[in-house]
Amino acid sequence: MKIAFYNYPVEVLKVDSIYSFAIYIYQPNRSSRVVYQYPNISISKEALLELEEYQKKGAKLQVFIEDMDSFYKETDCDQQRLDEYNLARVKMMNLFNKRKDRFNAKKDESFNLKENFKNAALNRDYSFLRQRLSYELLDFPIDQDPSINFMLALTDKVLMRDLGPVKCAVLAYFMAQELGIKDHQSLSDIILGALFKDMSFCMIKPSSFDSWSSLGVDPTYKKHPFLSLYYLSKLEIPFSKDLKRFIMEHHEDSKGNGFPRGKTEDYIALGSFILNLSEQLVYISEGKMGQEIGMESILKNIVNQNRLGEINPNLANPLIKTVEGWINF
């Protein structure tokens, strides 16, 4: 990872000076970068005052990395001062490169997903898959999106825990990869969806889970999964619409059963499908039914009973076939 554009303060520029490098302005609120002034043009006092106003409003003056030699020669700013001005970004770059080095050290290790999934299901031990996911997350960018950064910070803490939502997140991640999903944002959303989709359940009294009659009338349960979304909103992180959809419809089918109640579309999102399948494979396999009939029959029951809702068969069938191959039935 390299920083392509370095920020610098407007004070570096001098009135009536002619610079051989372009002056860029980056506006974070718009996620846009434009050329404010092209090379070899004298910079006026009015232009500097305007740049100061942009800077006060949060805009960043930037220089392209290929123009750095000219920038150092033509201004009184050296590399040390520029690094200090970009300290947070330099630290992030160094952290990413360290994570990348750790990932490269592990990526060539032999890893057979099919065999490890079978072992995890048979022994109810996901520790190796959890560890493998922690290695793969080292290759994720840490300067691309706040929600990805949040996911990376969260998984650093929870992947060591043998918890149901963590197992679902691990399994859902590898399922998504098997379907060819490589986009970091999409994979991050699937991981966060698995970890947060039932977050509001922690606010329900344990006694309410004793029976459906008590759970169905519980006031907190009636707010699920909207309450999970409410908790996420308090983090003030710009989560994607896909993540919110996964949380809303992971129990949903096209008949309006599950959440959100009264769904009218005749499909659910692929991410919701993956989360639903991973959840059922994990929880059913670890329950009494899983101990009695085994993983092979569990998946057959899930598919035959249409417990997954409905999704485009062109997307669903490859995933079902993949999981069938994992457990050989």
Instruction: Flag whether 320 is in a domain.
Output: yes
Domain that holds residue 75: 5-85
Task: Answer whether 172's CB lies under 8 Å from 195's CB.
Answer: no
Residue whose C-alpha is closest to residue 173's, from 143, 131, 202, 141: 131
Domain final residue, candidates 85, 111, 133: 85
In this structure, is residue 94 part of a structural domain? Answer: no
298 and 242 within one domain: yes
- Clarify whether residues 53 and 176 are in a common domain: no
Structural domain count of the chain: 2
Asked if 38 and 136 sit in the same domain, the reply is no
Domain boundary among 38, 54, 85: 85
Residues 251 and 320 in one domain: yes
Establish if 70 belongs to a structural domain: yes
Q: What angle do CA 288, 293, 297 make, to 5 degrees?
A: 125
Chain mean pLDDT for the chain: 78
Q: What is the pLDDT of residue 189?
A: 95
Last residue of a domain, one of 54, 85, 116: 85
Amino acid at 75: T
Both 49 and 116 in a single domain? no
In a domain? residue 222: yes
- For the entire predicted model, the pTM comes to 0.66
Residues 131 and 195 placed together within one structural domain of the fold: yes
Q: In terms of domains, do 27 and 121 share one? A: no
Per-residue pLDDT, averaged over 252-267, amounts to: 52
The neighbour count for residue 218, using CB atoms within 10 Å, is 16
Residue 91 within a domain:
no
| Same structural domain, 76 and 207 | no
Rounded distance, CA 176 to CA 181, Å? 5
Quick one: pLDDT at residue 17?
92
Q: Are residues 274 and 139 in the same domain?
A: yes
| Section 231-249 average pLDDT | 85
Name the nearest CA neighbour of 196 among 239, 228, 171, 174.
228
Q: Looking at the structure, do residues 245 and 130 belong to the same domain, yes or no?
A: yes
Taking Cα atoms as reference points, which of 171, 184, 102 lies closest to residue 140?
Answer: 184
> Would 95 be classed as within a structural domain?
no
Of 81-90, 217-226, 248-257, least confident by mean pLDDT is 248-257
Q: What pLDDT, on the 0 to 100 scale, is given for residue 217?
A: 76
Instruction: Assess whether 54 and 113 both reside in one domain.
Output: no
CATH of the domain at 216: 1.10.3210
Residue 92 falls within a domain, yes or no? no
Residue pLDDT, tens place only, 134-159: 888 888 887 678 899 889 889 988 98
Q: Which residues contact 90 (CB under 8 A, 6 or more apart)?
A: 3, 83
pLDDT at 213: 76
With a cut of 50, say whether residue 254 has pLDDT above it.
no
Assess whether 80 and 182 both reside in one domain: no
* Within a domain: 90: no
